[in-house]
Structure 1
Amino acid sequence: MEKDWLALKENFDNFDNIKKKPRPPKPNNAITIAVSSRTLFNMKKERQVYEEEGLEKYVQYQLEHEGQPLLPGVAFPFVKALLNVNSHLRELYPDSEELFDIVLMTNNHAQVGVRLINSINHYDLTIERFCMSGSESAVGYLKAYMTDLYLSKDSEKVREAIEEGIAAATMFACDNENELSDTQLRVAFDGDAVLFSDESEIIAKTKGLDTFFEHEKIFENKPLAQGPLKGFLEALGKLQRKFYAKGERLSCPIRTYLVTARSAASAGARVLKTFRCWGLEVDEALFLAGAPKGPLLQKIRPHIFFDDQMFHIEGAQELGTIAAHVPYGIGQKYYKGNLLQENNLRN
């Protein structure tokens, strides 16, 4: 009898803990980050079962391992950092719903969902919204989930999302990841074809650097058109200002970086004036004049770095930075040729 009573009490205690877990914000107020199951968790072994033995064996394998949490994947540190920002925001604004909302997007069958849920609960992640599309692409649901950013390891799905006007990137892991901050979300962006359109990049690639520099000088006071991730930077800035309003500019748990191959004196003014026109800012702007980005990123140690060129993605990976490829603009002219290269790099 006493054992039964203790078991019942434990169940009630667990129920209380569940009730106390923070609820996700309403989608209309949230910044929605959709992540695929293979970016949030390391499913390399599971993927191997699927490719070598087929769907039925894959589902069976997942069912047999439901009690075994999946290992963290490439997007896991980024998601943890987003949820850490939420915790700080709730302390300052208990009733605010301007928070990050993480949505798990997967083409897994619903039967596999139990293992995903168990893994999320094992790591104490606040992820309540799922999309399990049962072998169909989940990309078509992104707009319905009001997605602000979509992260996947599938280059084709990311390209589909970009073509639908949704900010998206293909994530790449690295063998020896840099140690990342536990208290501050750090996000690094390339400029052209990421935050900005590729209008200037087109000139640089088709007419050469001299013409590019001349063009940027002539149009220094004309803001660049927005690129696919401008909205995400805008969302980060909105949350940063909430911390600034509480006197936490210096201790803000969000920090943003522009890491661009542009030269500062020759082509930097237009970039900074564009930010000013947009009413946005980055915490740090690093103009490299064509120098490799990897060493600077190794110093910054961002949770994620966005770039449209695989050359810079590779350089970031080699020095321990988690990088995400944005397939947008003229840089994707040879996309099909680069796809095999991307697949070889993907873990």
Structure 2
Amino acid sequence: MCDSEVPITIAMPSDILFTEQDDRMSPGPVFAFVKALKAVNDILRKEYPDSKELFRVLLISDKKSDSLKTAIREHEMEELITPEPVSPSQYLIDKLKRERTHLYLASEQSKAEEAANASIAAATVFIPENMEQVSEEELRVVFDGDAGLFSNQSERVFQTEELQGFLEHERENVEIPMNEGPFKGFLEALEKLKKKWDLNTKCPIRSYLVTARSAGCGGYRALNTLLSWHLEMDEAVFLGGPGKGPTLEKIKPHIFFDDQMRHVKAALKVGTLACLVPESRAQHN
């Protein structure tokens, strides 16, 4: 066992994982994602019984519920009871940092923004009316590029100088890796975990980059940035502008991260659990 092995901690409020009905807890909208995390853990425990490098789900709750505690025990999770101090938000942020949280999924945008401003990878969960059935054999995670895996510098150029200015900016900086975005650390943790599987064994984790960048200089710069970080995606899709819905419909991910609400809405239309990445103060530093 390597001393550097730590669990990949994912925190979320209990009400998006379970719904309480007649004093019983039923699977909620994020349950399929967490179920896939547990399936990966089951495989890892068989191959590496002493490893600490597993997914760890931390449920956030402000109430004491016997049915919730039972559900948490049954699904091998941990519970964080949040009290009502003077500043509950700061209490939660401090706790998430102490727990070395890799990802915080929020049900409220304000809480995601507060966490992001504290340099925690955070996103607000949006739930489709009709969720697409997802794989039970592998975990599929889709990331956006700019303002997600990468910094939002290029996106700010696009907003101020429009498409032509963006294209010129990427052409001039094509060999210069972009700065890291808020989700680089989470991808890094996933890719480190994937290295436990050798080339002859199918890995149950698949990561995707789905970006509006084209396959030209913008796409090359994205790949060059990942290469400079020594990270590899299983697939990278450069759309060159069209909506992301059809691509997500083919991938059928357990979860999708994007900083643009229009892409989140496109994901919801095809039944994908979508998470909106907030803009943070750290992105402008």
Q: TM-score, normalised by structure 2?
A: 0.92
Q: Which runs of 4+ in 1 moved over 6 A?
A: none
Secondary structure of the structure 1 residue equivalent to 2:6: coil
**Is it true that 1:291 corresponds to 2:242 in the alignment?**
yes
How much has 1:139 moved relative to structure 2?
Answer: 3.1
**8 Å CA contact retained: 2:117, 2:280:** no
Partner AA of 1:126 in structure 2: E
- Measured in 2, the distance between the counterparts of 1:144 and 1:28 equals 16
**1:67-78 to 2 correspondences below 5 Å:** 68-78=23-33
Partner of 1:279: 230
Confirm or deny that 1:116 pairs with 2:68: yes
Percent sequence identity over matched residues?
46
SS at match of 1:321: coil
Partner of 2:15: 38
Mapped to 2, the partners of 1:168 and 1:244 lie a distance apart of 31
The alpha carbon displacement at 1:27 in A equals 11
Give the one of 170, 182, 194 matched to 1:216. Answer: 170
Contact 1:188 1:305 (C-alpha < 8 Å) held by counterparts = yes
| Aligned residues of 1:69 and 1:118 also touching (Cα < 8 A) | no
2:254 is matched with 303
Which residue in 2 is equivalent to 1:5?
A: none
* Equivalent position of 1:240 in the other structure: 194
Q: Deviations over 1:45-93 (max 9, x none)?
A: 8xxxxxxxxxxxxxxxxxxx5xx32222222111111111111111221
SS in 2 for 1:244: coil
Query: One-letter code of the match for 1:116?
Result: L
Q: Tell me, what secondary structure is at the counterpart of 2:115? A: helix
C-alpha distance in 2 between matches for 1:95 and 1:40: 28
Equivalent pair of 1:191/1:260 in contact (CA under 8 Å): yes
Kept in 1, the 8 Å contact 2:93–2:118? The answer is: no
- 2:157 corresponds in structure 1 to 203
Instruction: Note the alpha carbon deviations across 1:15-35, whole angstroms, 9 max, x for none.
Output: xxxxxxxxxxx9971111111
Residue matched to 2:49: 94
AA of the residue aligned to 1:81: A
What CA distance in whole angstroms lies between the structure 1 residues aligned with 2:97 and 2:243?
36
Per the TM alignment, residue 329 of structure 1 is displaced from its structure 2 partner at its CA by 5.5
Contact 1:193 1:329 in 2 (8 A): no
Q: Distance in 1 between matches of 2:272 and 2:157?
A: 29
Give the 3-state SS of the residue equivalent to 1:257 in structure 2.
strand
**Structure 1 residue runs without a partner (length 5+):** 1-25, 46-64, 334-347
Q: CA deviation at 1:266?
A: 4.0
Mapping of 1:1-347 within 5 angstroms?
Answer: 29-42=6-19, 65=22, 68-106=23-61, 108-109=62-63, 111-112=64-65, 114-121=66-73, 124-127=74-77, 129-135=78-84, 136-137=88-89, 138-244=92-198, 247-248=200-201, 251-328=202-279
What amino acid does structure 1 have at the position aligned with 2:67?
R
1:290-313 deviations in Å (ceiling 9; x for gaps): 101011101100000000011100
Q: Distance in 2 between matches of 1:37 and 1:329?
A: 24
Tell me which amino acid in the other structure corresponds to 1:142.
L
Q: Is the 8 A contact 2:125 2:273 kept in 1?
A: yes
1:132 partner letter: I
For structure 2, the residue ranges without an aligned partner over 5 or more in a row are none
* Greater mean deviation of Cα atoms: 297-306 or 236-245: 236-245
Aligned residue number for residue 11 of structure 1: none
Q: 1:96 to 1:308 in 2, by over 3 A?
A: same
Work out whether residues 261 and 288 of structure 1, in 8 Å CA contact, stay in contact via their aligned partners in 2: yes
Q: CA deviation at 1:115?
A: 2.2
Any idea what the Cα deviations from partners look like across 1:328-347, whole Å, max 9, x if unmatched?
259x99xxxxxxxxxxxxxx
- The amino acid of 2:72's aligned partner reads I
Separation (CA, whole Å) in 2 of partners of 1:254 and 1:301:
13
Tell me how far 1:169 sits from its aligned partner: 0.7
RCO greater where, 1 or 2, for CA within 8 Å and sep 6 or more? 2
Q: 1:28 to 1:141 in 2, by over 3 A?
A: farther
**Which amino acid in 1 is paired with 2:9?**
T
